[in-house]
């Protein structure tokens, strides 16, 4: 089985810890307490194999405590 390395962290977002990240796995990020998602709000990333390289799909989740 092919594995991705740990994904990059997202400021003010948490991820359930996992020991192994495998191709096809989807990660769900959640904003930490006191922070809200800002559009775009997709909080998922997928481990994929593209041209023999194993990558994480990009994610645009932003968590902010800005009230405006």
- What is the domain-level CATH number for residue 58? 2.10.70.10
pLDDT at 30: 85
Cα–Cα dist 50/65, whole Å: 36
Cα–Cα dist 54/5, whole Å: 9
**Residue 33, φ and ψ in degrees, nearest 5:** -55, 130
pLDDT digits (tens, 9 = 90+) for 4-54: 988 888 888 888 767 778 999 988 888 888 888 876 666 788 999 999 999
pTM for this model (two decimals) = 0.69
Q: Which domain holds residue 52?
A: 3-64
pLDDT at 67: 61
What is the number of domains present in the chain?
1
Q: Write b or e for each residue in 9-41: b if 16 or more Cβ atoms lie within 10 A of its Cβ, otherwise e.
A: ebebbeeeeeeebeeebebebebeeebebeeee
Peptide bond between residue 58 and the one before it cis (omega within 30 degrees of 0):
no
């Amino acid at each position: 089985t092919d594995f991705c390395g740990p994904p990059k962290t997202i400021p003010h977002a948490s991820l359930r810890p996992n020991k192994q990240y495998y191709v096809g796995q989807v990660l769900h990020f959640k904003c930490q307490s006191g922070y809200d998602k800002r559009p775009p709000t997709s909080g998922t990333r997928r481990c994929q194999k593209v041209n023999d390289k194993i990558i994480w799909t990009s994610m645009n989740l932003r968590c902010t405590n800005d009230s405006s």
